[in-house]
C-alpha cells in the first residue's frame, strides 16, 4: 500500500503563490520522495488548475479539491460541482474535514452523501473523521468514529462494494483538538484511534478494509512526521499549516 502524504492549504495562497509552491515541490520531489509514496495537494479551488499544471508529468503528485456540492449542476449559488473540479485537473476531494463539520455545520449524513457522490462521479475521496476533546475525555472515541463511518457505509449504494473502494477511498483520522492548535496526539493515542478505525473498516467491509489507507492529520510538522509515519497502522499524513512552505512540506514528504 502506498503511503499518502497530503497537504490541505485551506484558504491560503493566490494563484501565483500556489503555482510557485507547487513548482518548488515538483522540482525537488525526485530527490526526497521515498518509494511507495503518493503526494496529494488540496489547494483553494482558484488554484487547482495551476497546481495541476505544475504537477503534470509527475505520477506521484496529484491535486484535489477541499469542497464541492453533491449535485451535477443546478441552482446552488456559490458552490462547485465535481465535474467542474475534474475540468480543472482535480483527481481527489476532501469530505468531512472537521472545519466543514464544525464551522459550516455539515452533518454525518451530508458528509456521507458528498463522499458517495464524489466516488460515484470519478473522484478519489479522502473521508475525514475524528473526535473533539470533550468526546475523547468522555471516553467516546469509538462511538464517534463508529457513528461517522456508519453514516458513509450505511448509505453507500449496493454497487459500491469494498473492492470498488480500494484505490479510491482513503480515511483521514484527525482529532479535532489537535488541528491548528499545536497539540499532537501522542503515539499511543494515534495508534489507538487508527486501530479503532481499521477495526471498524473490517466490520463494514471485511478483510478488504485492510486495503483502505488510514492517514493521521493534526498539527503534523517536520519534527514529528517521521515518528508518526513510522507507526505500523499509519498509512499517511494529512498536513495543514506545515504544508504551506515548500521546504517544510518536502521535509515531511521525505520523513
Q: Is 102 a catalytic residue?
A: no
Q: Match 458528509 to its residue by C-alpha cell.
A: 111
Q: Match 471516553 to its residue by C-alpha cell.
A: 139
Residue 118 assigned ligand-binding role: no
Asked if 81 contacts 121 with a C-beta cutoff of 8 angstroms, the reply is no
Q: How far apart are CA 245 and CA 132, in angstroms?
A: 28
3-8 and 236-239 strand pairing: parallel
The residues that bridge with 219 in the sheet, in sequence order, are none
Query: Rg of the chain's alpha carbons, rounded to an integer?
Result: 17
Residue 10 assigned ligand-binding role: yes
Separate counts of helices (H) and strands (E) for the chain: 11, 8
Q: Is 131 a catalytic residue?
A: no
Residue 67 assigned ligand-binding role: no
Asked if 141 contacts 173 with a C-beta cutoff of 8 angstroms, the reply is no
Residue 241 assigned ligand-binding role: yes
Cα–Cα nearest to 62, from 99, 32, 94, 84: 94
- Which of 49, 91, 131, 174 is catalytic? The answer is 174
- Which of 49, 97, 106, 146 is catalytic? The answer is 97
Burial 215-241 (b: 16+ CB within 10 A, else e): bbbbbbbbebbeebbeeeebbbbbbbb
Cβ-based neighbour number of residue 88 at 10 Å: 18
Residue 60 assigned ligand-binding role: no
Residue 92 assigned ligand-binding role: no
Residue 9 assigned ligand-binding role: yes
Active site residues: 97, 174
Binding site for substrate: which residues?
A: 8-10, 180, 219, 240-241
Residue list for the binding site: 8-10, 180, 219, 240-241
Amino acid at each position: 500500500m502506498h503511503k499518502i502524504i497530503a497537504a490541505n492549504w485551506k484558504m491560503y495562497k493566490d494563484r501565483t503563490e500556489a503555482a510557485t509552491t507547487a513548482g518548488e515541490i515538483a522540482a525537488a520531489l525526485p530527490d526526497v520522495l521515498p518509494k511507495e509514496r503518493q503526494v496529494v495537494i488540496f489547494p483553494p479551488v482558484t488554484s487547482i488548475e495551476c497546481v495541476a499544471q505544475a504537477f503534470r508529468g509527475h505520477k506521484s503528485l496529484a491535486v484535489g479539491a477541499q469542497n464541492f456540492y453533491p449535485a451535477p449542476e443546478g441552482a446552488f449559488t456559490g458552490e462547485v460541482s465535481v465535474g467542474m473540479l475534474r475540468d480543472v485537473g482535480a483527481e481527489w476531494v476532501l469530505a468531512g474535514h472537521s472545519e466543514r463539520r464544525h464551522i459550516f455545520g455539515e452533518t454525518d449524513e451530508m458528509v456521507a452523501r458528498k463522499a458517495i457522490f464524489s466516488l460515484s462521479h470519478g473522484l478519489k475521496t479522502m473521508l475525514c473523521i475524528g473526535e473533539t476533546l470533550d468526546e475523547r475525555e468522555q471516553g467516546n472515541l469509538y462511538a464517534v468514529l463508529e457513528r461517522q463511518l456508519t453514516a458513509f457505509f450505511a448509505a453507500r449504494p449496493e454497487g459500491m462494494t469494498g473492492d470498488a473502494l480500494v484505490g479510491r477511498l482513503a480515511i483521514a483520522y484527525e482529532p479535532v483538538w489537535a488541528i491548528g492548535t499545536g497539540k499532537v496526539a501522542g503515539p499511543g493515542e494515534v495508534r489507538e484511534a487508527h486501530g479503532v478505525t481499521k477495526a471498524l473498516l473490517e466490520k463494514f467491509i471485511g478483510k478488504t478494509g485492510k486495503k483502505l489507507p488510514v492517514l493521521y492529520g493534526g498539527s503534523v510538522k517536520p519534527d514529528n512526521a517521521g515518528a508518526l509515519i513510522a507507526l505500523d497502522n499509519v498509512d499517511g499524513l494529512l498536513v495543514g499549516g506545515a504544508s504551506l512552505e515548500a521546504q517544510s512540506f518536502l521535509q515531511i514528504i521525505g520523513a
